[in-house]
Every structure is written in structure tokens, then in C-alpha cells.
Amino acid sequence: MFLSLLLLSLVQFTMPAIPVPLYVWADHQVNLRLPTAHGPAPLPVPNSTKSFWIDSPGANPLAGEGSEGPLTEQADVCIIGSGITGVSAAYHLGNALVAAGVTEPVKVVILEARDFCSGATGRNGGHLTPAVFSGFKQLAASFGTDDALRAFALEHHTASSILQIIKDHTLESAVDLVEGGHVDLMFSPEEVADVQADYDAAKLAGIDLSNVEWMDKAEVESRYGSSYPGVHIPGHNLWPLKFITQLYKLAAASPSLALTLHTRTPVTRITRSASPARRWDLATARGTLACSYILHATNGYASHLLPHLHGPTGIVPTRGQIIATRANVITASLSRSSFSANEGLEYWFPRPVPTPEEHPLVILGGAREATLPAYEFYVADDSVVNPRVGEALRKFLPRVFPGKYEEGREPEMEWTGIMGYTASGDPFVGRVADPAMPGSAETFKGQYISAGYTGHGMPRAFACAEAVAQMIAADITKHTWSLPTWLPKHYVTAA
């Protein structure tokens, strides 16, 4: 019933052409899996494009924290990366150590190549919308129904945990939390059919879908001004950098952690430690830091320090592009909902405004498919933008919402950021290991990773960091780690 109505609604509209290729995710993944001559990822470039989230006045008070003065020489745990994974891991490690009764603070250092939270977390859209059924059929076919259910449970665990932290510490205003739900628009009959198949498979597996609202073209046009069918689900968005700043403060207050942050301190090499008390030495331009445990929270850059993760069997650096553009209408004409479309390759939402009469700034990301078959794979330079992607982004909202955006208007900001994509679409969480190297678990002993979120980090990274922090805490306290009920088994690295 739903499928026939939505397919019919697709046939009945007359709209300007969408400026990106449609229904290309399968081709996207085929190209991601192709052999490559590209080597490991480089370090992050020092002169990245300016992001709305990072470079708005006052947005990043920790930007240069710990970048001057002496470098910490010894630590129990070194976390490389100060985005959502790295800071969440520190927060969860503190909680796990408190729960284990640790009274002597564990010395933890977070190292960041550039400014605090200046990677993908400081550049993405801030969606905090757990998937309800999207992609369920493929997940179940690839990894079994139980792991598919775990994947959805992880996203709900992430969202509910973050929202609880925000509520418990009254951070709603501090992190710009917006509750407006989420709408997924479908641009092609094939996409409609896939969404319906996912819905049916998820329902059959027992997922509660009572909060899913199907909308045909007429309903979407009436409510949002776009002539495509869609699905509405619960969702939030926030200012990612502001949340991570608050989370860092909470982690630093843990009685079981002695937490230090060193920004503008790229790690260039990891070697066996010369210190008998530590396993690893981390080389930086400011000196060497010895530590017992390492967490690689470097996402798209992971293969720089772990070269075996380069290429399609590892984590592929992939450049995303975003614009901040002004709407032609007031907020009331746009709604507070966040949106995605074209199998999730595009996403957008309006920023909150002080008065309802203002024309809001809208954040729009995506359009990598405008470069197919390249899809911006293996591009780790976020100091420039791609003009082909930029042209598609400028045309996208005016074509999808006629009259609500002015075609030809230049965005107020445009920037890029580097994501980490995997062939499975899912992250690597756990002990570092190289499947091609026998005995690699011992070779990399004490090194862990949580990375490779495939552009879907906001609903997953916080929980993945929780799992890997619990692994490290279990090792420190000599306890056995148990798989959480919400963590998919196929996320966990073999070691």
C-alpha cells in the first residue's frame, strides 16, 4: 500500500532536475572496493578550510590547548585524535575506571594534529538521528539478523546517552540542541522500493516502527514545500564541537583520570618504547611521549600510523564538502526538521535563529557523487573545495525546494572535511590487528582503534568509543571484557 502510493507520487511531480546523479550508492561501494595505487593517508594538512562550526567566533575555546610549553613525557593511555571518538573514549574510560573502583588516577593524554576537534567532528552536520530501519535488509543479509539488530541498538544507545548527558548537565543551550525530527526524501522509484524493503524486513525482525511516518508527495509538499515522498522519524541535531567541548570538561573532572590535552601536536611515528615501564613511544615535533596504551581515534587518517589499513580493505580517506547558505524564507516556512536524501548522500537542516522572522542559515553537505566515479575517495586534503561538488551543492536546495532558496546565491561559508570509509560501511572497533600478519595481536599489543564510520559517525562514534574504552579499562584492571548487548559483533576487530 505504502509502496504503491509513494511510487505513484514520484510519477506525478514536475520539478527541476536534481543536480546530482541519483541512486548510486551501489556504484559508490563498488568503486570503493576497487584496488588502488594510493598509499597510506597523510597527516592532516595544516591549512584546512574554515568551517562554520569551528570558525564561528567563540566556538572553540580549547582550540590551542596544550600546544605550547613542555610535552607530557609519560602516560598510561594516549588517545590520538580529539574528535567525538577520542574525547568520548576519555569520558567513558573515566566512568569505567570509577566503576572498577580505581582510586589512583590513570594518566591519559589526548593528542591532536591541529586545533581541538578540527577533524570531521568539527566539520560535519551534527545530525543526532539514529537509524530506525534504513539499511536493515542489507545488514541482515551480510551479518545476520542479530547483528543487524545490534547495529540499530548501538545508534539508539548513542543518541539516548548523548541526550541524557545534555539533560543531566543542562547543556541544551550550550550545545544548540534542536529537536525537530528527521525527514528522508526519496528521489527515485528504486530508492522508494529499497526503503520499503528495509521497513518490511525491520518490522519482521521485531523492530518497533510505530514512530515512523510515511508521507506521499502531497503531504511532503504541504508540510515542507518539496514534491518528493518521504519518511519522518524522530531526531535531533546539535553543534558537534560545542558538545565535544562540554564532554571534554566532564572527562577532565573524572576522579579516575589525570587528563591532559595537547593540540597542534601531530604524531608522526609509533615505535617500541625505550622506557621499560611503557610499551610505545609516540614521536612528535615537540618530543617523544611514552605510553602503555594507544587509541587510534583518527578515522580517515588512521592508515598514516597504521599503514596496513590503507586501501579498500582498510579505511579510505574521503573528502566531504559542506556549505552554509541563507534561505529565502523564514524558519516557519522550513520547519525545524533535519533532512537527508538520495540514499543519505545529501543532508541539510536550518540553524536556530533568535527571532522567527529571520531567514535562517542552512547547513548542506554532500554531492560527492557529482565527481563519480571518483566520489572524492583517497582525497585527504581539506584545504580546498572541489568546484564540481560546490556547483551541485549551490543548485541542490533551490531545485528540491522551489522558491525557498535562491538559485545563484553564493553560500556564506564553504568548507571540506575528511571522513573514513570502509568497504562494509561499518567501523573497526577494538584491538589493532593486521589480518595479513600472523601474530599481529602481540605485535600491536596495547594499541586499539575506533574508526571508519563511513560518513555516519554522529550516531555511532560515541558508543563505539564506549566499547573500546571498556576494553582498555578491562585490560588495565585485569578484568574480562564482555561484548555489550548493543555492539555488533562484526564491528569488533579480530585480534
Average pLDDT over residues 42-58: 97
Bigger pLDDT: 7 vs 23 = 23
CB atoms within 10 A of CB 30: 11
Average pLDDT over residues 280-288: 97
Say yes or no to pLDDT of 467 above 90. Answer: yes
Average pLDDT over residues 359-388: 97
pTM over 0.85: yes
Largest interatomic CA distance in the chain:
72
Note whether residue 177 is domain-resident: no
Length of the chain: 495
Task: Tell me the three state secondary structure of residue 272.
Answer: strand
Helix (H) or strand (E) holding 413: strand 413-421
Measured CA to CA, the distance from residue 419 to residue 302 in angstroms comes to 11
Note whether residue 141 is domain-resident: no
Say yes or no to pLDDT of 167 above 80. Answer: yes
Note whether residue 37 is domain-resident: no
Which residues lie closer than 8 Å to 81 by C-beta, 6 or more apart?
A: 110, 111, 112, 119, 296, 297, 298, 299
Note whether residue 221 is domain-resident: no
Residue 6: band (very low, low, confident or very high) from pLDDT cuts 50, 70, 90: low
Note whether residue 135 is domain-resident: no
Residue 8: band (very low, low, confident or very high) from pLDDT cuts 50, 70, 90: very low
pLDDT computed for residue 438 by the predictor: 83
pLDDT computed for residue 3 by the predictor: 52
Average pLDDT over residues 448-457: 97
Answer whether 35's CB lies under 8 Å from 253's CB.
Answer: no
Note whether residue 339 is domain-resident: no
Residue type, 322: I
Within 13 A of 332's CA, how many CA atoms are on the CB side? 4
Ranking 38-47, 327-336, 443-452 by mean pLDDT, the lowest is: 327-336
pLDDT tens digit sequence for 385-424: 999 999 999 999 999 999 999 999 999 999 999 999 999 9
pLDDT computed for residue 357 by the predictor: 76
Q: Quote the distance between the C-alpha of residue 404 and its chain's center.
A: 28
Note whether residue 429 is domain-resident: yes
pLDDT computed for residue 11 by the predictor: 44
Task: Tell me the three state secondary structure of residue 62.
Answer: coil
Q: Quote the distance between the C-alpha of residue 318 and its chain's center.
A: 12
Please tell me the total count of domains within the chain.
Answer: 1
pLDDT tens digit sequence for 178-223: 998 999 999 999 999 999 999 999 999 999 999 999 999 999 999 9
End-to-end CA distance of the chain: 47
Note whether residue 142 is domain-resident: no
Q: Is residue 435 reached through a cis peptide bond, with omega within 30 degrees of 0 on the bond before it? A: no
Domain coverage including residue 266: 63-121+241-313+424-491
Beta bridge partners of 280: 272, 291
Q: What is the CATH number of the domain that holds 455?
A: 3.50.50.60
